[in-house]
Structure 1
């Protein structure tokens, strides 16, 4: 989700202060926690709609054009295997990461560890209360990383909201040791310029480089001053994570990037970056720009092409490579994740995916636009819906991806023919309300080891697709998956 700009900032603390901040996270499995969720990170409040719009929603439900409130519908090839409702963490569910038999789910109030050894019966292993929107999450070995993009009183898990204008506020990257899944341990905190809205892991031999995406500087924010024209790179030694520190700030837009207009965001940083380490490439979705980067030197990412779409893209949000690295799917988060943009009025080319081909070689590689893809099922004016987080399904010889669309549900779609993408499966819940635009739905939907996992605001959903077009993915197994660190499937 696109964060509220006035709540972004970052503060640099001395190394000694960071060391002092190393502490145990507040763990709980059902009892009372020492810290409390941050009311400043609550979901968006419902927004009233007109009587005409309300009547249209009720008429569409009555006519079976859309499902009823909370009614589940899905294509014949999709099966809903399980749902684990929210438990102690009541904030907004965000991103997902995977390792072995475990799924790790971000939440604005912290994160949840699930045992998914039996996908039909996922179990909560532990929950960590550590507020800090949006807690974008990833894992590597024994380490777990969280992004904090809301100003905090300090870097501890018991911190509270604090204005971005105050110099001693904190935002950045938190690092946990997850060698004991029942008892994750907070081991490091790194403050980064303008906080960390999302982050991307780029593993090296001894270190992990973390590309920190953040944006929207403000002259009133002491440690988030304009121009904010790049990304922070954090170096984390695998065997000494407490020594994690910012290694550089890489300027990606020396010309300032897209200046913004009445419909599109100006580029003041990046929203999300997807790395493909095996190909030494990364694709950045950076507000007003899409970029292709050479990451052959992980500590020094280098832009080799830059594209804009002022006519149709409002906010470049995320990116996914095709398996062979010849294509990139960029998403446009029109409305910031809180808008109803999957209706007939908005149309099929706004709040959609843009499919690009990568042409040329070396530094002459270019991103060339092919087409747009948006779910073909209209949603109610009370449903927030827009292209959001997804991943490849590792199908032999085809380009197929699963993707979240908030209250538009989970879509499985094919872009093998880049000019004619099409949906081949879906899972959708009806609107939360017929009376107000209400935030909800699935934030992230990823394929992992034979199943689809969706972090919905109603909890963790597990889905299965049975389709000849995706059958070849069934036997593919990964030890670990962070969707923003794209693996080479074998």
Structure 2
């Protein structure tokens, strides 16, 4: 999550400002530079204690096959790597200073195609056809890539969603910005009833009293309608209230952090900071609340949701500490900062088991449940997940009451000179490999070889946005 609005007081410095918006290919593309394949980390399946600074560790069935370190303007003290999206032979990697497009046609040797400098945390990305959507949840002084962080509230302040034309991967073009209430922390793509229309569900925290972009109250999500053939006409067409009874109940809601849509099932699951919400999205512009969950004993920040393939389960994750603190120590209960598995039957969710990455981390390592994706394996419920400095974990929740880890990769703590935040922000399975966006180390490519996950290698996707699930 790492949202400055929510935890600016936790010791995180201001964003390093970049005052150029570059959409030209980098030198790496022109020279054909490729990353070297690192040696596989030493496997230690019995490891329970922390590893040394930057020491790599992995289960015997997982190996690191490539790493592309941060470069250029996307390699500053707080140029943090964020979310991922995929299309064909390309990976799109968000960063607080912009985004990078990689050629992953040879997964063990990814190469940079272009790098766009356009600051605005978190710069989470989604791809659809020639359009790349980018979330901005920092108040900017205006909507341009040259804008700085907003200071004294002004009528020109902006935060929301940017749209880029990436038909030419080497030269992305900034097309359009859409201001949304309280910005866009994350977003999810939902197809319209025809291929000519696409909807963007915008999740954002708030309110921020005194702000011109995030006024109280904030119980809703913004829905952007995008005419695919004329994306510059995109606009907010709805802002449904997901908590109509909150005022009567005396509860102050803070918007949503993440929404995962499953269009084939006409369902979506919203993680809304204090609540989990199951939605009917039969009409994409008018989502209906089917069930609202609250767990004040175990959950602090309802962060994200993942359906299993047949939509009979949902995994909700809790981002205790907002991604900035060490919650994988022996002092934190296994049900906090973890995943809760809910069975979904007859339109109702029932909580079953919990899963938390099992290796103890040090008190200096930010570690908590973060972004992951389902592996495309018929008849099994297996997902890969990022845990910040806890690394990458592959785990099986086919048995809702008895989830278990089957593979992992991690690095040891950051060195003192590297700052306070690090580790895997997002870890997703795509066409035979796991791609991890590491906050400070860049793009990792991992390979898992295990009888349980081998069936996933047969699946091929042409486009993959984790917040828009598809069946297989």
CA contact (8 A) 2:302 2:316 kept: yes
Structure 1 partner of 2:61: 77
Structure 2 partner of 1:118: 106
Q: Secondary structure of the equivalent of 1:472?
A: helix
Q: Find out whether 1:313 has 2:299 as its counterpart.
A: yes
Matches within 5 A, 1:384-403: 384-403=366-385
Separation in structure 2 between the aligned mates of residue 25 and residue 176 of structure 1, nearest angstrom? 12
Matches within 5 A, 1:144-293: 144-163=132-151, 165-204=153-192, 205=194, 206-256=196-246, 267-293=253-279
- Summarize deviations over 1:365-384 as a string: whole Å, max 9, x none: 11110011101100011100
Structure 2 partner of 1:102: 90
- Summarize deviations over 1:281-334 as a string: whole Å, max 9, x none: 000000000010001111111111110100010000000000111000011000
Structure 2 partner of 1:418: 400
Q: 1:142 to 1:193 in 2, by over 3 A?
A: same
- Summarize deviations over 1:446-469 as a string: whole Å, max 9, x none: 000010000012010000110000
Separation in structure 2 between the aligned mates of residue 378 and residue 182 of structure 1, nearest angstrom? 42
TM-score by structure 2 length?
0.89
Q: 1:473 to 1:257 in 2, by over 3 A?
A: farther
CA contact (8 A) 1:382 1:437 kept: no
- Summarize deviations over 1:72-123 as a string: whole Å, max 9, x none: 0000000110000001112110000000000000000000000000000000
Structure 2 partner of 1:430: 412
Structure 2 partner of 1:55: none
Separation in structure 1 between the aligned mates of residue 171 and residue 419 of structure 2, nearest angstrom? 38
Structure 1 partner of 2:284: 298
Separation in structure 2 between the aligned mates of residue 396 and residue 300 of structure 1, nearest angstrom? 32
Tell me by how many angstroms 1:258 deviates: 12
Structure 2 partner of 1:136: 124
- Summarize deviations over 1:42-101 as a string: whole Å, max 9, x none: xxxxxxxxxxxxxxxxxxxxx982211001000000011000000111211000000000
Separation in structure 1 between the aligned mates of residue 170 and residue 446 of structure 2, nearest angstrom? 25
Structure 1 partner of 2:321: 335
Q: Find out whether 1:484 has 2:467 as its counterpart.
A: yes
How many residues are paired up?
435
Structure 2 partner of 1:453: 435
Q: What is the root-mean-square deviation in Å for CA atoms of aligned residues?
A: 2.0
CA contact (8 A) 1:349 1:372 kept: yes
Separation in structure 2 between the aligned mates of residue 257 and residue 308 of structure 1, nearest angstrom? 16
Q: Secondary structure of the equivalent of 1:5?
A: helix
Q: Find out whether 1:466 has 2:452 as its counterpart.
A: no
CA contact (8 A) 2:203 2:259 kept: yes
TM-score by structure 1 length?
0.86
CA contact (8 A) 1:259 1:267 kept: no
Tell me by how many angstroms 1:210 deviates: 0.3
Tell me by how many angstroms 1:257 deviates: 8.1
Separation in structure 2 between the aligned mates of residue 452 and residue 400 of structure 1, nearest angstrom? 13
Separation in structure 1 between the aligned mates of residue 71 and residue 213 of structure 2, nearest angstrom? 36
Which consecutive residues of structure 1, in runs of 5 or more, have no partner in the other structure? 9-23, 32-62
Separation in structure 1 between the aligned mates of residue 294 and residue 248 of structure 2, nearest angstrom? 7
Which consecutive residues of structure 2, in runs of 5 or more, have no partner in the other structure? 9-19, 28-46
Q: 1:164 to 1:418 in 2, by over 3 A?
A: farther
Separation in structure 1 between the aligned mates of residue 259 and residue 103 of structure 2, nearest angstrom? 28
